[in-house]
Amino acid sequence: MTTYAQICRNGHILNTSPNPEYIQEYQYCQDCGAEGIVECPECSDQKIIASEQNIPTEDVTQGDLDLFCRSCGAGYPWTGNDGMVIREGVFVDDDYVTGSFDRQTVEEINRCYRIGANSAVLVLYRKLLENTIIEILRGHYGTDSIEKFYDNDNSQFHRFSVLISEFDDSRSELSQYSDNLTNALIDQIWEFKGNGDAMAHSIKYEVEDEELEEMSSGAAYVANVLLQARNEVQRAN
Ligand SMILES: [Zn+2]
Ligand SMILES: [Zn+2]
């Protein structure tokens, strides 16, 4: 069963219903005052669809919304100028990115953030943290202590949980590169790992738009501390 939606022109979700006849609740958005629409403003021939399933309003996120009309192909008003953007800003900034890997990953994270691909943001962000911790451990310990970050028996990098523990245990040595490798930072890394895992593995869990936006400043802080430490490690070794 389909879930139809009334959406304001800025992309706020006003109401949803399995019955398109009862979707119009208020005429204007209570958050921004923009007009609420229930069908494509170009062709008036296509109801706005939030999901192919019947899902409650509170479970609909901006990332679920169609970006283009299924009937005439016009971009919906919330798709923005380049046809994709549903929110402005970035999830993490790129102040300390240096390599092509982190640049590409941070760009992808922020692209997903702007188009409302919330789960993808957290999966990619987890990958950024994991890779940066590998680079820190590898830069500092080198191949002489490869067991710190590499599982020789299985010929692969350690699982992320093992990497965080090794990183945690190495903090007294790594503190020469950064003053910010605190217990609180480790706790935040564990939390973001958990979020990324939930998004990658669970079929039920979804992250709300506001929830993700609230995570952004903490996420940027953690990424910047790690990337900055990584840069110092690479400079010194
Ligand atoms: Zn609005
Ligand atoms: Zn249309």
CA distance 231 to 55: 46
Q: Write out the residue limits of the CATH 1.20.120.330 domain(s) in the chain.
A: 100-236
CA distance 50 to 153: 47
Q: 87 C-alpha to center of ligand 1: Å?
A: 12
Torsion of CA 192, 55, 63, 223, to 10 degrees: 0
Structure tokens at 212: 């993700």
Q: 29 C-alpha to center of ligand 1: Å?
A: 5
With respect to CATH, is domain 100-236 assigned 1.20.120.330? yes
Q: 55 C-alpha to center of ligand 2: Å?
A: 23
DSSP annotation of 15 reads E
* CB-based contact 122:195 (threshold 8 Å): yes
Instruction: Provide the angle, in degrees to the nearest 10, between the axes of the packed helices 118-141 and 209-236.
Output: 20
- Judged by its nearest atom, the ligand closest to the C-alpha of residue 30 is 1
CB-proximal residues (5 Å) to ion ligand 2: 40, 42-43, 46, 69, 71-72, 74
Q: Which pLDDT tens digit goes with each residue over 103-160?
A: 999 999 998 898 888 889 999 999 999 999 999 999 999 999 999 999 999 999 999 9
Q: 167 C-alpha to center of ligand 1: Å?
A: 44
- Judged by its nearest atom, the ligand closest to the C-alpha of residue 36 is 1
CB-based contacts of 82, cutoff 8 Å, min separation 6: none
CA distance 6 to 112: 23
Q: Which pLDDT tens digit goes with each residue over 4-61?
A: 999 998 888 899 999 888 888 789 998 889 999 999 999 999 999 988 888 888 888 8
pTM higher than 0.75? no
pLDDT value of position 186:
98
